[in-house]
Structure 1
Amino acid sequence: MAGEVRMTLQTLQVLQVLLDGPAEQHYGLKISQASGLPTGSIYPILTRLETAGWVTSAREDIDESAEGRRRRRYYQLTNEGATNARAEIVKAQRRLSTSPIADWLQTPQPGWEV
């Protein structure tokens, strides 16, 4: 059973990265790079998502010496997690599109000329 997840902008960014390949396994550094968030921010988010049942994780089984790197923990959205993630992103988009800031963003502001 999936639990509630505190939805922050950073959580939405991580969810969007995971939704770009919902059936794929993603590891922390790649999620960090794709989201633009530091690894120190994404791991607590991934832990919350896993605790809520939105993602699963597993460590890869490699010989670190032979591979020349540390083992990675891979994260993957559950079916329910993917459904919830899509719903949260849509909800956030609706909130932004109906807020006063949406009108402000669509009005050219001084200094916005490119």
Structure 2
Amino acid sequence: MTPQTIAVLRVLLEDATTPRYGLDIARQAGLKTGTLHPILARLQEAGWIESYWEDPADHEDQGRPRRRYYRFTGSGATAACQAIARAEATATTGRPLGLHPQPGH
């Protein structure tokens, strides 16, 4: 589990019930979007988060592209908390920790 992934998980956990869009997550985590999006893809592939595109009617008069929103799956927030705890507990061992898919993914 990389420090960048931990940063993304922490941002998403700030309010686990509120979907966040990519640029907002990147800013809060202190990451560039080129770093963020592969992390989000891995988290989604592992079943920890899900994403959806904003309704075009919600932004058409704002002159910006549609946003893709991300939120935890039912068990994703719990898995994220556990991963952060493991990463903090093993930070001094140097042992890498990976994503573990959730049941059904």
Could you state the TM-score of these two structures normalised by the residue count of structure 1? 0.75
**Which of 5, 9, 12 does residue 3 from structure 2 map onto?**
9
CA deviation map 1:41-67 (0-9, x unaligned): 000110111111110100001245422
Amino acid aligned to 2:61: A
Question: Alignment RMSD, CA only?
Answer: 1.4
Amino acid aligned to 1:20: E
Identity %: 46
Structure 1 unaligned blocks of 5 or more:
1-6, 101-114
Structure 2 unaligned blocks of 5 or more:
94-105
Higher relative contact order (CA 8 A, sep 6+): 2
**C-alpha distance in 1 between matches for 2:2 and 2:30:** 15
- Counterparts of residues 1-114 of structure 1 (less than 5 Å): 7-63=1-57, 65-96=60-91, 99=92
- Larger CA Rg, structure 1 vs 2: 1
Could you state the TM-score of these two structures normalised by the residue count of structure 2? 0.81
CA deviation map 1:16-75 (0-9, x unaligned): 100111111000110001000111100011011111111010000124542211000000
